[in-house]
Amino acid sequence: MALSRRAAELRPSATLAISAKANAMKAQGMDVLSLSAGEPDFDTPEHIKAAAGDAMKAGFTKYTPASGIVELKTAVAAHARKTQGLEYEPKQVVISVGAKHAIANALFALVNDGDEVLIPAPFWVSYPAMAKLYGGVPRIIYTDGTAVLWDPDSAHLTPVEAGYKLTPAVLRKGLNAKTKVVILNAPSNPTGIVYTPEELAALAVVLREFPGAWVISDEIYDCLVYAGIAKSLAAVAPDLKDRIIVINGVSKTFAMTGWRIGWALGPAAIIAAMGDYQSQTTSNPTSIAQKAALAALTGPQDSVATMHAEFAKRRILIADGLNAIPGFRCAPADGAFYVFPDVRGLAAMPAVLRALKMDPAKGTKGFSGALTTHFLESAKVAMVPGAEFGLECHLRMSFATSPAVITKAVARLAESVSALTKG
């Protein structure tokens, strides 16, 4: 086979693959309700689109500096100051092709072959695969303190009382002398958890004990918080700022997923290395999209507030709806736009296991995958198995979709579960 080892090992992103499958079913005329995609259902605000149009008309259609235009870097720094009280100079900002690209490039800049990359579970699907692509060894730390090397075919199930938040004691169990990077993500995809500043400060105490470990702090959802406040780790622990890379972007906050603009903030030397890498690989993020992102950050913010208010209503709608279904336990998300219901109640029902053709002797392995396939095929509701995020017996559903779709999806799931539990 001509494929390189790295290419051969790589699997496509599960969330994108499931969205593609749901879209293909829709294209065949099936009435599929999609709760799988991680993108706002709102259109990009008009003034942002207009800025892109203006850029095109003005001929702003050529290469820009590979690490992004200085106006946008300045606006990003101002945004970090306004939202998080963080101080960065433009040379500490790199503009990338979405936050995903920024995370990948940060891993490139930091990780040597064999370095460990510590990833708390449940995790955003791309972190372990990206760490591996850059020669890192992804180590997963579960909230019950179990630390394992990443295996894409094996997801654990933690006790309910362990919750979804990393504690200092658990973080300490995952770190060792080989840890080069810890990837933190709050508000979290998939759970929607948000750490309090006190909780972050307690994690920082442990990070201080491991001076060789950097932190990639993925704060892409920091403007989508409904309960509590999402402080940046760099703001809570300024003494660690010289080994923290803060990741953010316009995709989620401004409904701009397709524009592909994200960024990293951090020490100038690492940021410069990320820019150099871009100069040898992608070159600049799209010139026109950079102007659109500039308008997003510097223009009116009322559409952000409108979208936020809408998500805040939907988080309750979906959690209440799912909690009324037997076998589901769902906390409303404190941030981001996902719920991560625990369905171990369903996995404990013999009739459900029989209907899904699962062998009870094999435990819960594969349960979330079998259940999501069943829900997609029988109820025409698309979602992502928790196993893709490292945790079995959970489902990830996005509520970045209309209340009508959420209500209909919940009703279909209730009906499907009722049929399943009757065997």
Ligand X SMILES: Cc1ncc(COP(=O)(O)O)c(C=O)c1O
Query: If you search the block for the tokens 């404190």, which residue do you land on?
Result: 334
Question: What span, in angstroms and rounded, lies between the C-alpha atoms of 124 and 183?
Answer: 10
Closest distance between ligand X and the C-beta of residue 119, in Å? 12
Instruction: Name which of 218 and 388 has its Cβ closer to ligand X.
Output: 218
Taking CB under 6 A as the criterion, the residue among 99, 141, 225, 371 binding ligand X is: 99
Instruction: Name which of 257 and 421 has its Cβ closer to ligand X.
Output: 257
Taking CB under 6 A as the criterion, the residue among 92, 191, 251, 303 binding ligand X is: 251
Question: What span, in angstroms and rounded, lies between the C-alpha atoms of 73 and 320?
Answer: 41
Judged by CB under 6 A, does residue 388 bind ligand X? no
Taking CB under 6 A as the criterion, the residue among 257, 301, 378, 407 binding ligand X is: 257
Judged by CB under 6 A, does residue 98 bind ligand X? yes
Taking CB under 6 A as the criterion, the residue among 73, 79, 100, 314 binding ligand X is: 100
How many beta carbons lie within 10 A of that of residue 59, not counting itself? 8
Cβ neighbourhood burial of 37 (10 Å; 0-12, 13-18, 19+):
buried
Taking CB under 6 A as the criterion, the residue among 40, 192, 262, 285 binding ligand X is: 262
Taking CB under 6 A as the criterion, the residue among 44, 158, 179, 189 binding ligand X is: 189
Helices 302-323 and 403-421 cross at an angle (nearest 10°) of: 20
Instruction: Name which of 219 and 342 has its Cβ closer to ligand X.
Output: 219
Assigned token pair, 350? 């013999």
Question: What span, in angstroms and rounded, lies between the C-alpha atoms of 213 and 119?
Answer: 12
**Residues 6 or more apart in contact with residue 338 via CB below 8 angstroms:** 38, 189, 190, 191, 192, 396, 397, 398, 399
Q: What is the DSSP string of 292-310?
A: HHHHHHHS--HHHHHHHHH
Span 9-48, contacts to ligand X by CB under 6 A: 38
- From residue 190 to residue 219, the character string flagging contacts with ligand X as x (rule: CB under 6 A) and all else as - is ----------------------------x-
Closest distance between ligand X and the C-beta of residue 220, in Å? 4
Chain positions contacting ligand X, by CB under 6 A:
38, 98-100, 124, 185, 189, 218, 220, 249, 251, 257, 262
